[in-house]
Amino acid sequence: DQQVKQNSPSLSVQEGRISILNCDYTNSMFDYFLWYKKYPAEGPTFLISISSIKDKNEDGRFTVFLNKSAKHLSLHIVPSQPGDSAVYFCAASGGSNYKLTFGKGTLLTVNP
Amino acid sequence: DGGITQSPKYLFRKEGQNVTLSCEQNLNHDAMYWYRQDPGQGLRLIYYSQIVNDFQKGDIAEGYSVSREKKESFPLTVTSAQKNPTAFYLCASTPSDRYLYGYTFGSGTRLTVV
C-alpha cells in the first residue's frame, strides 16, 4: 500500500522553462510534506516543505503547492537550470511518530 | 559543523555474516531513522527511534536490528537473516519541532554482499 505516490518516473524540460513535479498521498493523517533532491550514492538534500495549514510555500525558484482536498502537492521550479537535474522525492509525515514516508521519486532532466 | 556521519561509505559483506552500519549525529536531535534505497523503490523505512532506549519497526524491519543507547548514535545491524541486503542505506534525524527544522540525512552507506 503506497501512501505517497509520484506517478511520473521521469520528466524532461528545457532550461529556463518551468518544471512541475507532482505527488499524491492517501493518508489523511499526513500534516507535513517535504521535497528532497537526490544524486546517486548521496544522501537526499532538503529543498522545501509545507505544513497542512498552508497551501503554498515559496523559497527562491522553488514553490510547493498543497491541495488538501485532492491530497495532492506539486513542486514548481522556475526557471529550471541544468544543475537541477536529479531525482526528486516527495515525502510526508503525520501523527506522533515523525516517520517520513517517501514516494518513489521522479528523475528530472533539464536540457541546456 | 553539525550533521550526521555515516560510516563506512562502502561496505562488503560475505554471505552469512552480520554487519553493523554506524550513524552518529551531533545535532542534538531526538528522533533517528534508517532507510534503505533500492533502484526504482524510493526510500523505505527500516527502523526508527524517537527517544533513547526505544525504537520501532518500520516497513521492512525483517533481518535488521538496531539499538539506541545514546541520543547521538543509532547503529543498524544487517543480519544473515536479511535475504537481499545489497542496497544503499541512509540514516536521518529530526528534532522534536520537525516543522521548523525538518529532517537531516547522512551521506549513506553502500552495502554489497559478495
Supply the DSSP string of B22-34, one letter for each residue: EEEE-S--SEEEE
What would the grid cell of residue B62 be? 525483517
Size of interface A-B (CB pairs under 8 A): 61
**Averaged pLDDT for residues B88-109:** 84
Mean pLDDT, chain A, whole residue set: 93
- B90: which chain A residues are within 8 Å (Cβ-Cβ)? 43-44
3 state DSSP class of A106: strand
pLDDT at A97: 66
Nearest-5° Cα angle at B6, B48 to A105 = 65
**Could you read off the pLDDT of B22-43 as tens digits, one per residue?**
999 999 999 999 999 998 788 9
3 state DSSP class of B62: coil
Q: Does the pLDDT value for residue A107 go beyond 60? A: yes
Question: b or e along B8-43 (b: 16 or more beta carbons within 10 Å of the residue's beta carbon)?
Answer: eeebebeeeeebebbbbbebebbbbbbbbbeeeebb
Place of cell 522525492: A89
Q: What is the largest CA-CA distance in chain A?
A: 44
Q: Does the pLDDT value for residue A22 go beyond 60? A: yes
Place of cell 536490528: B65
- For residue A101, report the phi and psi dihedrals to the nearest 5 degrees: -110, 125
- In angstroms, the CA B71 to CA B29 distance is 8
Mean pLDDT, chain B, whole residue set: 91
- In angstroms, the CA B98 to CA B82 distance is 31
Chain B residues with a Cβ under 8 Å from any Cβ in chain A: 4, 6, 31, 33, 35, 40-45, 48, 50, 56, 58, 88, 90, 92, 94, 98-99, 102-108, 110
Nearest to A104 among B40, B48, B58 (CB): B40
The residue type of A100 is L
Query: How many C-beta atoms lie closer than 10 Å to residue A48's C-beta?
Result: 19
Cβ contact B102:B2 at 8 Å: no
Cβ contact B73:B24 at 8 Å: yes
- B43: which chain A residues are within 8 Å (Cβ-Cβ)? 44, 89, 91, 100, 102
Closest alpha carbon within chain A to B57: A99
- In angstroms, the CA A65 to CA A53 distance is 12
Q: Tell if the CB–CB gap between A41 and B110 is shorter than 8 Å.
A: yes
Nearest to B42 among A34, A89, A97 (CB): A89
- In angstroms, the CA B42 to CA B113 distance is 20
**Could you read off the pLDDT of A38-85 as tens digits, one per residue?**
998 889 998 999 999 999 999 999 999 999 999 999 999 999 999 999
